[in-house]
Amino acid sequence: MLSPENNRIPEKIHHIHLIAICGTAMGALAALLQEKGFRVTGSDQHVYPPMSTFLAEREIGVATGFDPDRILEDRPDLVVVGNAVRRDNPEAMALAESGISYCSLPQALNHFLVGSRKAIVITGTHGKTTTSALMAWVLEKAGLSPGFMIGGILKDFSANFRMGHGPFVVLEGDEYDTAFFDKGSKFLHFTPHRAILTGIEFDHADIFEDLPAVEKTFIAFVKGLPPDALLVSCRDSSSAEKVLAQSGLGPDRIRRFGRGPSGPGWSVGDLEIASPVECFSIFRDGVFFSRMETVLPGEHNRMNILAVAAVAESLGIDGKTLALAVASFTGVKRRQEIRGTEGGIMVVDDFAHHPTAVRETLKALRPHARGRLLAVFEPRTNTSMRRVFQQAYAESFGDADLVCIREIPCPEKVDEKERFSAESLVQDLRLKGLCAQSFDDASGIVAFLAGEARPGDLVLVMSNGGFENIHSRLLDAFSGR
């Protein structure tokens, strides 16, 4: 059992060891720590590209498997325990025996990345990664050289982390639990100077029982804001509004944004779509602030931009600088990312897995599809593999002309009574008049679309995983016809 007394970061540190180093955030943390001059080592059960290559290029020592001797004999000064580590992990058990100081990923970020700087924390069920990335880019274009740690690769920085040397650090604030020794949400470790709440829905059914449980952790986050912090929140989210009502924050510490042209705070209007660009105006309390031009499609991205605008304005960034940053922002990998076009058929990759994200992504791309919009979906998160959203998904694919659903990739991970069924979803979609098919694997989808897709079609692939390299396989199939 890990002693709470050792959950601290000592003053004198030379060697830091990371257990489960090959996660996206843990690998980025390892690189940050190395940049700061520490000796960094790590271990993981599965060491493979791209993270193994990323770490090897930086000459960070990574060992395959978990060995107690790395703790008991090497005796690092600090051990960072990743979220994927279980309490019966051999190195975690050795850590408990050793008395060596340890911390979680968010504790490490707060100490080594943020330090005395001001944190801008982006939270919410949807849009965190894109909003965080855009926030970092706006600060960069304003000459403020931000540090950041974000859950996706920013195309404009070719990285998901940076130390920076300016006064601000942008953090993607995740509500998922911190570690096996700390079941509180990761974002509870951060002390925001500015915070964004994009909205709240039920998600992460593996750790939250219901929506009130999700709301409870956001209430804790908002109540923990320091006295000088400002919160920017989506007024369209009933759960976010419920959280604000219980936050104790005065109106002077809250800025709202939302979809309608009317309402308090920030809004959009005068939308023009000339694919691939969308243009719109931003208003604050009904007064024009700036005109935006962006390649980010859809209403949900306009909301992301609004949230960033509210924070930027509060930091003294003017509308012209904001507009130039938004216009030059190229986005995040795996968020509506064009992977290629072959045979006149475009393949787009997206991270969508929640029913709302699926619906909004399809809605966003609909005006940009020259021909049909073909949706390919793989449910592989701990929540999407369960039946919890079985019926909700049936309402999410209305903007698609054809839908391909893969059965969950690891059915043994979920009890049969709780398991999502692609076949059942296909039946529900067909009852709504949609053309839909279910498949056991990516190979079946590739073979089907190789014969079905035609020039002008846009194929949207939605998954939070690699999906058996389906994007490249589809492009190869289309080029070889």
pTM surpassing 0.85?
A: yes
Asked if the 4-104 domain carries CATH number 3.30.70.120, the reply is no
Residues 239 and 126: their CA atoms lie apart, in Å, by: 13
- CA 166 vs CA 112, 151, 183, 292, 409: distances in Å: 15, 21, 32, 26, 43
- CA 422 vs CA 203, 377, 446: distances in Å: 19, 10, 17
Residues 313-327, mean pLDDT to the nearest whole number:
97
Q: Hey, what are 410's tokens?
A: 């690891």
| Beta carbons within 8 Å of 312's beta carbon, 6+ residues apart | 135, 138, 139, 142, 321, 322
Would you list the domain boundaries of the chain?
A: 4-104, 116-328, 337-479
Residues 19 and 38: their CA atoms lie apart, in Å, by: 16
Q: Hey, what are 50's tokens?
A: 């791209």
| Beta carbons within 8 Å of 423's beta carbon, 6+ residues apart | 407, 438
Cβ(39)–Cβ(15) below 8 Å: yes
| Fold type of domain 337-479 | Protein-Tyrosine Phosphatase; Chain A (3.90.190)
Please say if the pLDDT value at position 240 is more than 70. yes
Cβ(144)–Cβ(166) below 8 Å: yes
Residues 105-113, mean pLDDT to the nearest whole number:
96
* pLDDT at position 389: 85
Cβ(44)–Cβ(139) below 8 Å: no
Quick one: pLDDT band at residue 196, thresholds 50, 70, 90?
very high
Specify the higher pLDDT residue, 48 or 345. Answer: 345
Which of these, 146, 148, 131, lies nearest to 29 by C-alpha position?
148
| Fold type of domain 116-328 | UDP-N-acetylmuramoyl-L-alanine:D-glutamate ligase (3.40.1190)
Q: Hey, what are 340's tokens?
A: 């290629």
Specify the higher pLDDT residue, 422 or 381. Answer: 422
* pLDDT at position 481: 65
Quick one: pLDDT band at residue 262, thresholds 50, 70, 90?
low
In what helix (H) or strand (E) does residue 44 lie, and over which residues does it extend? strand 39-44
